[in-house]
């Protein structure tokens, strides 16, 4: 039997005024990238406020209309498309801009590994994961399946999760000439391998200039 969610007075209060258009757009983008996850029986209790915020509040009370996951996903796609049309005119609030800037600085400090020595002022550049994301994901899944703990996996992920600025030509060499778009060089091991092995194996090697700390 479908669960009937009757929103309380608190949940029935629109949240649009409390959520900035930028945040609403990000929420819609995230949900769309996840495939518009909607349960077949309705919204879970922790999603009531989110549904109201995104403009889906009219689906909350199933006593007024039967819940239709397909229709909700279709409406979610329409809301996302409408929000994207206004995206160029949106500006984040100063507080949000500061938060994003601080997060970017943290990423720069902990994740950025440097730029290629081949990068010139007029170069077309590309932000490259030193170890491909596909490798990071598959190796973490493997270790989890083998019973590894978070404490064992986290240091390896921190070691290998690096981003470097390389040229478009270097990216093309890695991806097409060497076939390293989503894999590391032969014999590489997640547990004790060199994070930069893929760059070293390129011909010619990709040499990084470390960032100034």
pLDDT in tens, 61-91: 766 677 787 888 888 888 888 888 888 787 7
Please report the DSSP string for 82-128 in residue order: HHHHTGGG----HHHHHHHHHHHHHHHHHTEEEEETT--TT--EEEE
Dihedral sign (CA 36, 20, 79, 16): positive
Q: ∠ CA 143-144-147 to the nearest 5 degrees?
A: 90
Structure tokens at 80: 């996302």
DSSP 178: S
- What are the tens digits of pLDDT across the range 119-164? 999 999 999 999 999 999 999 999 999 999 999 999 999 999 999 9
- What are the tens digits of pLDDT across the range 35-68? 555 555 555 555 666 777 777 777 777 666 777 8
CA distance 6 to 68: 16
DSSP bridge partners of 126: 166
CA distance 27 to 55: 12
CA distance 118 to 116: 5
Q: Which residue ranges make up each domain of the chain?
A: 9-89, 94-209
pLDDT at 201: 95
- What are the tens digits of pLDDT across the range 13-25? 444 445 677 777 7
Strand order in the sheet with 208-209: 125-129, 163-167, 112-116, 208-209
């Amino acid at each position: 039997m479908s669960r009937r969610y009757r929103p309380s007075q608190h949940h029935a209060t629109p949240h649009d005024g409390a959520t900035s258009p930028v945040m609403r757009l990000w929420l819609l983008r995230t949900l769309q990238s996840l495939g518009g996850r909607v349960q077949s029986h309705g919204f879970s209790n922790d999603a009531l406020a989110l549904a109201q915020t995104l403009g889906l509040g009219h689906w909350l009370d199933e006593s007024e209309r039967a819940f239709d996951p397909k229709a909700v996903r279709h409406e979610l796609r329409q809301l996302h498309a409408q929000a994207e049309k206004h995206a160029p005119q949106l500006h984040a609030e100063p507080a949000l801009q500061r938060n994003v800037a601080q997060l970017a600085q943290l990423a720069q400090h902990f994740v950025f590994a440097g730029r290629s020595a081949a990068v010139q002022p007029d170069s077309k550049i590309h932000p490259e994961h030193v170890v491909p994301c596909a490798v990071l994901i598959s190796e973490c899944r493997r270790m989890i399946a083998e019973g590894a703990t978070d404490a064992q996996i986290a240091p390896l992920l921190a070691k290998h999760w690096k981003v470097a600025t390389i040229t478009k030509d270097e990216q093309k060499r890695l991806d097409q000439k060497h076939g390293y778009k989503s894999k590391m060089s032969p014999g590489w091991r997640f547990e004790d391998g060199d994070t930069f092995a893929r760059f070293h194996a390129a011909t010619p090697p990709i040499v990084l200039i470390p960032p100034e700390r």
